[in-house]
Amino acid sequence: MKNPFARKNSAEKTEAPRGFARHGRIRAQSKGSAIGGLVLKGLAAVVGAAIAVAGVTVWDISNSIRANGIELAGPKVTAADLKGPINMLLLGSDSRAGTDSKIFGPSSGVLADVEILIHISADRKNAVALSFPRDLLVPWPACPSTTGGSGYLPQALGQINATISNGGPGCTLLTIEQLTGLKIPYLATINFGGVIEMSNAIGGVDVCVARPIHDRYTFLNLEAGNHNLKGMQALQFLRTRHGVGDGSDLSRISNQQVFLTSLLRKIKSEGVLSNPIQLYSLATAAARNMQLSTSLTDVNTMIGIASALKSVDLNKMTFLQVPSHGGLPAPYSGRVMPNYDQANIIFQKLVNDEPILIDKANTGSGAVAQGGTSTATPTPTPSKSALPGKSASATPTPTPTATALPEWARGTNAATTTCSG
């Protein structure tokens, strides 16, 4: 029996284990290959970290938005609601939170300076952005406060922008629902600071100015020509009233449409809705500066609405303002009333989800079509002895066609370039 510990003699050969080279040369790794491997490993690590951070960030943003969610009255919104027409109310409050009071002055309360109803058709072929003048006098429905207060009882007539200070943004939404006959399940509010941050996040908005703007109230000073507006200038442009048209809120709406239509053209042409970096920047700014209804705080709902708007052609994105007139007797001097026989045509088309198209811009006094002059149709002023009410109207109402609105409809579409003027 062989001793297992005995030393092998020189005659005995030891077979090398298969698969391992004993004395073979190992091919040297090139510098490029080594660097390439490190780069790939580095990229993998960065991508993995980015995905992890993105997941945490989205979760954090979603929580921030949900924490400030506004609970609306009525039945809960479900995913099925995104399959039909979409109605959303966008409110721009005059809250000075996070801004310099030396520039904007102290806030004596919060009012809804901007009220835009957004309607996207069920077939995703048309969209309407309908602006309500902030000084519009309308009936107020009874409203339970959405900001923790006691709310208020119904009243026959009140200024629409004050509904937010008396009961919160949900009360403004209820008022517009009653006025239009529409069910509006989604609500978004943005303050001064939000406009500044959102315009920065998107890289500014290009607007043209037909006549110089020098507004000593908002401190906006722009010479005629093209400007990229972001940050403070974007906010000043959207707020300016004394610097455009006849200095009225109706002129300001026309001026705002210059900005908003240009914003949509940028979003569509640069694919912002498909760019995760820009969407992240916008979402971050929104989380800090916007309040959304709880029906809108779900990420999938946001994506669904963005996708619905993404497929609408620019020339079928219509911007309108509610037909109205001034010249009212005291104590309503300086306010405006809806032209109900005209406004109801627009409201009913929205309720019926009918397309509303404007082929030629009727800009109003605060804007002009690019290369042209203001195309506003003058609205006669009613008698000062007339009492405000649903029967008040400034002009007779022609019968509209199936899709296009008559000449009295003031607005434009997103494909048409208009200039502040």
pTM summary value = 0.78
Q: Where are the alpha helices (DSSP H) in 240-386?
A: 249-269, 276-289, 299-310, 340-351
227 DSSP β-pair partners: 207
Identity (one letter) of the amino acid at 158? Answer: G
Token match 């959102």: residue?
A: 198
Choose among 341, 315, 318: nearest CA to 408. 341
CATH topology of domain 68-420: Aminopeptidase (3.40.630)
Half-sphere exposure of 220 (CA within 13 A, CB side): 25
What whole-number distance in Å separates Cα of residue 226 and Cα of residue 366?
A: 16
Q: What is the pLDDT tens value at each position of the chain, 421 positions in all? A: 544 444 444 444 445 444 444 444 445 555 555 545 555 444 454 444 443 444 445 556 667 677 778 888 777 887 778 889 999 999 998 765 555 555 555 555 678 889 999 999 999 999 999 999 999 999 999 998 877 777 899 999 999 999 998 888 999 999 999 999 999 999 999 888 888 988 998 899 999 999 999 999 999 999 999 999 999 999 999 999 999 998 888 999 999 999 999 999 998 888 887 777 777 777 777 777 888 898 888 877 887 888 888 889 999 999 999 999 999 999 999 999 999 999 999 999 999 999 999 878 888 889 998 865 444 444 444 444 344 444 444 444 444 444 567 788 999 999 999 999 8
* CB count in 10 Å sphere of residue 196: 21
Half-sphere exposure of 188 (CA within 13 A, CB side): 21
Domain ranges of the chain: 68-420
Query: Residues of 337-371 as b/e, b for ≥16 C-beta within 10 angstroms?
Result: bbbbbbbbbbbebbbeeebbbbeebbbbbbbbbee
What whole-number distance in Å separates Cα of residue 419 and Cα of residue 402?
A: 29
Collapsing DSSP to helix, strand or coil, 179 comes out as: helix
Which pairing describes strands 155-159 and 337-338: parallel, antiparallel, or unpaired? unpaired
